[in-house]
Amino acid sequence: MKKFFYYFRTVSRLPQSKSMPVAPVISAAFIYFISLMLSAGNGWVPIIAVAAFGSGTVLFCNRYGSPNLEAVFPVSHGKKLLYRFMSVLLMLILFVITLLAVCVLIILVVHIFVPSSLSEVGQDVKNMFTETGLYGGLFGVAYFIILYSAGMITGFIKRRKVRNIFLICLCVALFLSYFFMGLPYYNSINNPEHTFVGPFSSACYAAMSLPWLAIAFWFVIAAGITGAAIYLGVKHYDPKKF
């Protein structure tokens, strides 16, 4: 593990390109916005998933300086690929810990002035899980895997044009997926006001005739995009290139 942490410190200090990667930032903001709008009050899943996407782009997007310290790092190419995936997870964990610490601090400060706030927070957390339900939670897992892998793919793509096309396709695909998954509830007789809920809500799946099929589809997509990330990683660390 000592070598892994040394690798993490190395890649986090790699020289970054002078031009800021605008497309990944805009994509992350767009994905988070549409996810949060359809999260049924469960904003944690979009935050963590988009943070996983952002971690991959922050660590490896546009970090190909000269000399490339990662290329000469003294481990095998297979371990570099493993360490790369682990580095993104470590950065995500550090982000989540920091975010939780800030939230706890805010809650404690508010509790000093409003003692009843703790019980309200507890009820909000309970409602969050109730609103999400089993299928919404499973979707959240698949969604996290997809965005984590998408962040890895973004970091592997060196050509800006190709990267931007991939990010546009990702944003459009997610938006259309949210839209079509929300249509059964939108047209449901139990929804006379025709409100729209997304795949983070249990109500979305209650209106479907085969909700398990929709979840299975998302896990197939998650497996496919993870496989694509690993494939690009294997190509990136092909010993013939070094």
Q: Angle, nearest 10°, between helix axes 160-186 and 22-37?
A: 10
- Residue with the larger pLDDT of the pair 186 and 163: 163
Taking residues 125-134, what's their average pLDDT?
75
Prediction pTM value: 0.88
73-85: average pLDDT: 84
Give the number of other Cβ atoms within 10 Å of residue 18's Cβ.
6
Q: How much is the average pLDDT of 157-185?
A: 90
Return mean pLDDT, the chain: 83
- Report how far residue 132's alpha carbon sits from residue 124's, in angstroms, rounded to the nearest whole number: 12
Does 65 have pLDDT greater than 60? no
| Distances in whole angstroms, Cα of residue 34 to Cα of each of 37, 41, 76, 198 | 5, 13, 40, 9
Average pLDDT over residues 184-195: 79
| Region 105-129 average pLDDT | 72
Q: What amino acid is encoded at 2 in this protein? A: K
